[in-house]
Structure 1
């Protein structure tokens, strides 16, 4: 009897049908994922409904069935899948749907921590002159890790330069290129030539965002794109500045953890 608990604890847990379907979907085995999702969707599983609806609408792994796909997308939304609400909102925007219906879908998605929806609602609130609501949505989106929200908080609601730079730096470290562009201009205003060139390089999406960094290629790209920030320095000072920029970029990319924005019909990683 004593060994029963040990054996149970070490027994591998079999993947659920939904997990198997999602694995097939991730790997592009769409015929297999559709076969797995279909009975789950019929049982009301929102994730299976959402991903299968994407396949049906786009004719991937199954015959194209847009009416049926959109009906299933609506079922996924009704069963609580926030990405389905996002897709339905986007469809309504593209087809000039009613603004109230669009906002309702985004509101439901935001209530389920969909940060893309929170950003839409924040920008809508700004358009309506409701800064309090906008700031609340942006703060929530940033709490959920969306760096675009930090950029908007920095540019619209930061109470001082220190807070603005803190937001922008955190956003840039997660791959928000607009935040890096703002930091380049702030550095220029502060006569920080290293920061100005370095942040400009990052904002320009130059090499280094990948695992293998080619510093020669970076140097050539920096000279082409960001030279205006230190072109007035004397040659020796400029060479030293570029050396310091190299170190700035090396330090930046050592801790670089890019954030992936939401895209429709993809599986969000935990």
Structure 2
């Protein structure tokens, strides 16, 4: 029995690795735009789970908007936070907006400013504009 276990584990890890490598962010984004949410999730989720910040951002948006999944603010926040912490400016901007307006999280302007500032520091013009507006 032990002789069969090692090859089975190797085969499973090989197949799972192949599935993850087969994921394609471009294909996932295109599917998302077309409304093919099943394909989008198939392509984006493995990359997000591997730590791809752009895929994490898109997965956060998918859960925020309920695109092919049940709308889930908690999962959205979780994926957007991972993406933002990995340096994705769009995710930082979206988290700023969520905290600014209390969308799925408790409203907190200090936290909103932090995320806006991180996005602005990367040159995201929308974040720079928001920081000017909220400073007035």
What range is the shorter-chain TM-score in? 0.7 to 0.9
TM-score (norm 2): 0.74
User: Over residues 30-56 of structure 1, what are the superposed CA-to-partner deviations in whole Å (9 max), with x where a residue is unaligned?
Assistant: 211111111000001111111111111
1:49–1:73: 8 Å Cα contact kept in structure 2? yes
The structure with the larger Rg is 1
Structure 1 segments, 4+ long, off by >6 Å, are none
Call closer, same or farther: CA 1:56–1:124 in 2, change over 3 Å: closer
Task: Find the counterpart in structure 2 of residue 113 from structure 1.
Answer: 123
Task: Find the counterpart in structure 2 of residue 88 from structure 1.
Answer: 95
Higher helix share: 2
Task: Find the counterpart in structure 2 of residue 75 from structure 1.
Answer: 82
- Matches for 1:43-62 after TM superposition, within 5 Å: 43-62=50-69
1:34–1:62: 8 Å Cα contact kept in structure 2? no
Distance (whole Å) between structure 1 residues aligned to residue 65 and residue 54 of structure 2: 17
Q: Which has the higher contact order (CA 8 A, sep 6+)?
A: 2
Distance (whole Å) between structure 2 residues aligned to residue 43 and residue 25 of structure 1: 19
Which of 81, 99, 104 is residue 109 of structure 2 equivalent to? 99
Query: Structure 1 unaligned runs (5+)?
Result: 1-15, 128-270
User: How many residue pairs align between the two structures?
Assistant: 112
Query: Structure 2 unaligned runs (5+)?
Result: 1-22
